[in-house]
């Protein structure tokens, strides 16, 4: 476990889990999950949230047993080389989350606000902020996550505006799609909850980490409620065909928001969203840097160098990825890797950990 002066209170797990789950995915998740389940997609949101809560519970079984982060658990179970290789896969995955979030947000800014924006300069400005947060330590990253939830929360009240034009009968009839369709939609929805796996790396930084479990579940619950709220309004406001024609249905909802001091609220919404995506990138970069530091046992003085290298990789990837198709491909690969790692690998690793402990205990008793 980390020294107490670097640790955070258990309730802050609420903000860490929620802030890393909610990102640019909120803008276009409706189209993805309604392809299979149509107006029953709201069932997939609930199902995805429940599945994530189960995985969080499994994660805590593993983490509470070892009282270490995932990198150290790998080393204990598989040794230096195999454990290091498995940990490297996780580091690449966390880094991919940061790349996807940053590049997707820049694309939205390009399409909706500034088509001629200089991607390099914009990325550098954002990554300088990320550098400041990450090198400040985990407590700073946690503080940014807290602010990223509290300050921009007003944005979600703007989705009350479309209710006047919403036809909730669009939700009927309930369950008019097959179980297979709803299951596929649930799988697609689970991609919107990904990112919470960073809990596996910052667990030792939580004071009395066992007490943080309920807060992690509550953070996931808030994410689910927000997704459900936006989806129900979207189903009522758009027809299914209209949803399929919108790349970012959530942004289209903002078009009807009317305020005395601003004509087009989507400009305010997209700009404010940077406070929400900043914790996403900070947590992902910090998790990657911490993982590299632990695997290679890098001296504390050189941790800053590791962070800079990771940020340069992030910058280079963001500049190299061009076009909607390539962004969607990267998103697809990251999502598939995340599904396998989080929903298949973690339960298997937890099971293996308990089986090995049982075998060792038996061998000790026989001896």
Average pLDDT of the chain, as a whole number: 89
Cross-strand partners of 206: 8
The tally of domains found in the chain comes to: 1
d(CA 133, CA 97): 17
Mean pLDDT of 153-180: 86
d(CA 264, CA 159): 14
d(CA 277, CA 310): 18
What is the chain's length? Answer: 367
d(CA 117, CA 154): 27
d(CA 282, CA 142): 9
Residue 4 has what pLDDT? 63
d(CA 217, CA 211): 11
* CATH for 306: 1.20.1740.10
Most confident range (mean pLDDT) of 19-23, 158-162, 203-207, 363-367 is: 203-207
What's the token pair of residue 242? 């209209």
Mean pLDDT of 61-90: 93
What's the token pair of residue 290? 């911490």
Of 51, 56, 21, the residue nearest 149 (C-alpha): 21
d(CA 36, CA 184): 7
Phi and psi at residue 206, to the nearest 5° = -100, 130
d(CA 85, CA 134): 24
Within 10 Å of residue 349's Cβ, how many Cβ atoms?
A: 21
Residue 84 has pLDDT above 90, yes or no: yes
Residue 139 has pLDDT above 60, yes or no: yes
Residue 178 has what pLDDT? 87
Residue 63 has what pLDDT? 95
Residue 367 has what pLDDT? 63
What's the token pair of residue 208? 């009395």
Three-state SS for 299?
coil
Instruction: Give every CB contact of residue 361 below 8 A, 6+ residues apart in sequence.
Output: none
Q: What is the pLDDT of residues 105-127, one digit of tens each?
A: 999 999 888 888 899 999 999 99
d(CA 246, CA 74): 43
Say what percent of the chain tops pLDDT 90: 52
Mean pLDDT of 25-37: 88
Residue 212 has what pLDDT? 95
Mean pLDDT of 233-245: 86
Cross-strand partners of 259: 262
Residue 2 has what pLDDT? 54
Q: Which domain holds residue 308?
A: 4-366
Q: What is the pLDDT of residues 282-333, one digit of tens each?
A: 999 999 999 999 898 887 767 788 889 999 999 999 999 888 888 888 888 8
What's the token pair of residue 236? 């009522």
**Is the model more confident about 11 or about 246?**
11
Residue 342 has pLDDT above 80, yes or no: yes
């Amino acid at each position: 476990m980390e020294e107490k002066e670097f640790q955070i209170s258990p309730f802050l797990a609420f903000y860490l889990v929620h802030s890393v789950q909610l990102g640019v995915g909120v803008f276009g998740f409706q189209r993805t999950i309604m392809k299979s389940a149509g107006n029953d997609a709201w069932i997939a949101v609930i199902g995805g949230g429940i599945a994530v809560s189960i995985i969080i519970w499994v994660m805590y079984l593993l983490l509470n047993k070892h009282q270490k982060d995932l990198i150290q658990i790998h080393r204990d179970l598989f040794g230096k080389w195999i454990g290091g290789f498995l940990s490297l896969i996780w580091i690449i995955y966390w880094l991919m989350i940061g790349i996807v979030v940053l590049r997707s947000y820049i694309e939205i800014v390009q399409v909706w606000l500034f088509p001629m924006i200089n991607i390099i300069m914009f990325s550098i400005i954002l990554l300088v902020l990320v550098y400041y947060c990450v090198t400040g330590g985990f407590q700073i990253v946690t503080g940014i996550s807290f602010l990223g939830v509290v300050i921009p929360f007003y944005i979600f009240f703007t989705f009350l505006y479309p209710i006047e034009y919403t036809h909730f009968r669009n939700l009927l009839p309930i369950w008019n799609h097959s179980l297979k369709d709803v299951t596929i939609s649930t799988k697609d929805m689970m991609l919107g909850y990904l990112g919470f796996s960073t809990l596996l790396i910052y667990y030792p930084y939580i004071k009395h980490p066992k007490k943080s479990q309920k807060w992690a579940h509550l953070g996931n619950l808030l994410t689910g409620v927000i997704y459900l709220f936006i989806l129900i309004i979207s189903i009522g406001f758009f027809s299914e065909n209209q949803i399929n024609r919108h790349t970012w249905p959530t942004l289209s909802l903002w078009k009807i928001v009317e305020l005395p001091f601003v004509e087009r609220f989507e400009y305010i919404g997209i700009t404010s969203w940077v406070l929400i995506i900043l914790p996403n990138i900070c947590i992902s970069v910090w998790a990657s840097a911490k993982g590299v530091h632990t695997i290679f046992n890098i001296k504390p003085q050189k941790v800053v160098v590791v962070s800079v290298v990771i940020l340069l990789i992030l910058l280079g990837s963001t500049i190299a990825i061009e076009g909607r198709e390539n962004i969607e491909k990267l998103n697809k690969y990251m999502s598939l890797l995340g599904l396998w790692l989080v929903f298949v690998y973690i339960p298997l690793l937890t099971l293996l950990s308990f089986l090995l402990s049982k075998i060792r205990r038996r061998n000790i008793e026989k001896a």
